Amino acid sequence: MAALACSTASAWAAEGRGPSEGILIGQVVLLIVAGRLLGEAMLRMGQPAIMGQLMAGLLLGPSVLGVLWPDAQHFLFPKDPAQKAMLDGLSQFGILLLLLLTGMETELGLVRAVRRAAFSASVAGVTLPFICGFALGQVMPEFLLPHPEKRLVTSLFLGTALSISSVKIVASVVRDMGFLRRNIGQVILASAVVDDTIGWIIIAITLGLAGQESLSWMHVTQSVIGTLLFLAFSFTLGRRVVFKIIQFTNDHFRGEAPVIAAILVIMGGAALITNLIGVHTVLGAFVAGILVGESPILTEEIDKQLRGIVAGLFMPVFFGLAGLSADLTILSNLELALLTAGLIAIASVGKAAGAFAGGYFGGLTGRESLALASGMNARGSTEVIVATIGLSMGVLSQNLFTMIVAMALITTMSMPPTLRWALRRLPMRREEVKRLEREEFEAKAFVPNLERLLVVADRSATGKLALRMAGLLAGSCGMTVTVLSQTRAQDGEEKGAADSDAADIIRAAAEGAETDKGVDKVDVITRRHDSALPDAIAEEARRGYDLMIVGIHPAAARGGFTADLSKLAAAFEGSMMIVDARSDHQTDPLGAKLDFLTPVTGNETSRRGAEVAIAIARAAKGSATALSVINPETRNRGLRKREAESVLEEITKVGTHHKIKVNTLVRAERNAEDAILHVVKRTKSNVVGMGVSRRPGEGLAFGHVAGALLEEAETSLVFVAPQSSGAVKSSSKGPEKAATES
């Protein structure tokens, strides 16, 4: 394929046919193939793949092929300005997409968690190399400057270019080392995030100045004020606007990849806004990526789809073209070689010294500060992007561009081994162990990974209790709730008013939920359909929900569920929670306490039901009791009891992670339902919450125990059923494995 592309492009170039899409296709295919092969080789050597893509450009450009076979190099990449502009256009759009992905990888929550050390390291790690780079620009020989009269702009740009790090490269190495969730790993990533954010703001303003005929302090002031206003709007009202655009597109458009199109529009709009205020478009793309990454809907799916096209097409083309633009043969000149070595030394020492000092005074130990200094010295993709923009804007000369690319290549390839060496010397702290255990639990747990709830409720006590529980769950983890109201307006009542009441119940419960995560105000969407409710649920389910909560009266009939509720459940294949209000919740569904009894058996379905019960109990400031039932007539009763105690110990850990004490009981009883009913009276629990599995058949059924409770229990009931076997989720987490009940 590469040979065919090469020969085709060469033939067209040789014929002198001028600008041609055929030549463009040949160039793109060649860069993709070469970049992919060399990128794979770099990965096997423990280096970032983008270094292989950059080296592909160097090999195909004047640095190598241009020396060994100049005619072939000119055939493959003719210097015709119109032809070159076609590839440049693709590369320029690739820059925006790369900045979009960089922004999506920027975790502001991570920065907040380690803000003292991260900001200290970033400020010192940016300031010192910035001063060094600026000073270098002031004393640099004029023959290296594209416009000697604009030395100030080049110096500002050079200082910024030397002071930032590559989040992508740093994250890759830290992840490979297993330090992504360690304290030092989080500080390194957070510092790189702050570096990038500060750097792109300064670069955007600097490039805005570069576009002016002369330096005007009025224009500088306008650019700074405009940038600050843009950032203020983006991280307040803009965050909400982006979320609503993504949500509306996901929920209402049915074409192929509508959310991707919406993201690209958001990126383009933000880039145009920054262009209008006099700064570079890269800032708009970067900020758009941050806002998209914080959207609670489909962020993982968006990342996968975007990353595929960017990694497969735009990255090889962009970094390959950057390599093509660099001419390492200039380093045969002793003066330029010495200047390049000096540039690398200034960049490395300045960055490492600044990061070390900032980390140490930010509360890190000497070893941790050394690891931080090692990790922050990688420029990688960020530096290449910055240098390419500077070259295209006329801020950098061709020689200075090549020197910066060489610096990016050398610092990036030296960073992984030095960072690995530094990280291996760091012992794990006690608080790190506890935090990692909590994060490991949350990664495997059910409730912490819920993002979107669908609630189907009527105006009965059961419906209100379901709405309340939905609000408590949402408030505990910060979820988005959609209410699909089955409301029948009562006499003299408008349907819209009833829908508003449902949303108010959820919001009130969410605001009153006991939580330690600082969850913002829960977003509640009320949606009505003209079609029958089962059809409306099926249509709504396609939009992607993690859990449907149903509160419809009556729920039970003859020891099972009503036909109406069975039809609703059949329309939703995802995880489901059925609520049935009884006893004191019939008279006071919004105020009565929520004291849960949760029967457990040790399987994943049972654990999931217990987790939901514990999470709601904690959010409602109620209590939780876990019950394990063993058959007294079984063989090896002692073994069964030890197994039951082990299961209860696991549930106790779930309670610990949710910050609530879970009482535990083991009861010997032939029938589990009898044991449950007995313990309910003994513990004065007023809700039985349990995990169940859907049973095959025409109607909704959860097995004998659930049927007996529906027939005999006086307390409220909550059944949590996993996703139907074979169902495919469309939410951000992808297909969920259906748990099976033993």
Q: Where are the beta strands (DSSP E) in 552-660?
A: 556-557, 560-561, 576-580, 596-599, 624-630
Please check the confidence at residue 141 and state whether its pLDDT lies above 80: yes
Helix segments in 658-712, DSSP class H:
672-683, 704-712
Domains, the chain: 2-423 (1.20.1530.20), 443-487+494-721 (3.40.50.12370)
State the Cα–Cα distance between residues 125 and 118, nearest whole angstrom.
10
Question: Whose CA is closest to 690, among 588, 580, 564, 584?
Answer: 580
Per-residue pLDDT at 33: 92
Please check the confidence at residue 154 and state whether its pLDDT lies above 80: yes
Per-residue pLDDT at 520: 58
The three-class DSSP label of residue 454 is strand
Please check the confidence at residue 494 and state whether its pLDDT lies above 60: no
Per-residue pLDDT at 613: 93
Could you tell me which residues come within 8 angstroms of residue 50 by beta carbon, excluding any fewer than 6 positions away?
39, 168, 169, 315, 319, 380, 381, 384
Please check the confidence at residue 420 and state whether its pLDDT lies above 90: no
Parallel, antiparallel, or unpaired: how do β-strands 452-457 and 547-551 relate? parallel
State the Cα–Cα distance between residues 157 and 395, nearest whole angstrom.
8
State the Cα–Cα distance between residues 685 and 7, nearest whole angstrom.
79
Total Cβ atoms within 10 A of residue 431 = 9
Could you tell me which residues come within 8 angstroms of residue 719 by beta carbon, excluding any fewer than 6 positions away?
577, 578, 609, 689, 690, 691, 692, 702, 706
Please check the confidence at residue 236 and state whether its pLDDT lies above 70: yes
Q: What is the pTM of this model?
A: 0.64
Most confident range, picked from 96-105, 183-192, 324-333, 442-451: 324-333
Cβ contact 559:707 at 8 Å: yes
pLDDT range class, residue 216, cuts 50, 70, 90: low
Q: Which residue has the higher pLDDT, 715 or 304?
A: 715
In one-letter notation, the amino acid at residue 699 is G
Lateral strand order in the sheet of 480-484? 524-527, 480-484, 452-457, 547-551, 576-580, 716-721, 687-691, 596-599, 624-630, 662-668
pLDDT range class, residue 117, cuts 50, 70, 90: confident
Query: Could you check whether the bond before residue 735 is cis, i.e. omega within 30 degrees of 0?
Result: no
Strand partners, 691: 720
Please check the confidence at residue 128 and state whether its pLDDT lies above 50: yes
Question: Does the CA dihedral 385-391-392-398 come out positive or negative?
Answer: negative
Please check the confidence at residue 211 and state whether its pLDDT lies above 70: no
Total Cβ atoms within 10 A of residue 736 = 17
Per-residue pLDDT at 551: 92
pLDDT range class, residue 167, cuts 50, 70, 90: low
State the Cα–Cα distance between residues 431 and 437, nearest whole angstrom.
10
Please check the confidence at residue 122 and state whether its pLDDT lies above 50: yes
Angle between helices 217-233 and 281-293 (to 10 degrees): 10
User: What is the tens place of the pLDDT at every residue in 261-273?
Assistant: 899 999 999 989 9
User: What is the tens place of the pLDDT at every residue in 586-623?
Assistant: 999 999 999 999 999 878 899 899 999 999 999 999 99
Task: Compute the average pLDDT of residues 693-702.
Answer: 85
Per-residue pLDDT at 395: 81
Q: Which residue has the higher pLDDT, 390 or 575?
A: 575
Q: Cα–chain-centroid distance for residue 619? A: 26
Cα distances (angstroms) measured from residue 220 to each of 140, 160, 200, 464: 24, 16, 16, 57
Task: Compute the average pLDDT of residues 386-399.
Answer: 81
Greatest distance between any 2 Cα atoms in the chain = 95
Task: Compute the average pLDDT of residues 38-61.
Answer: 84
User: Which letter does DSSP use for residue 513 in this model?
Assistant: -
Question: Whose CA is closest to 422, among 179, 194, 171?
Answer: 179
pLDDT range class, residue 725, cuts 50, 70, 90: very low
State the Cα–Cα distance between residues 399 and 38, nearest whole angstrom.
25
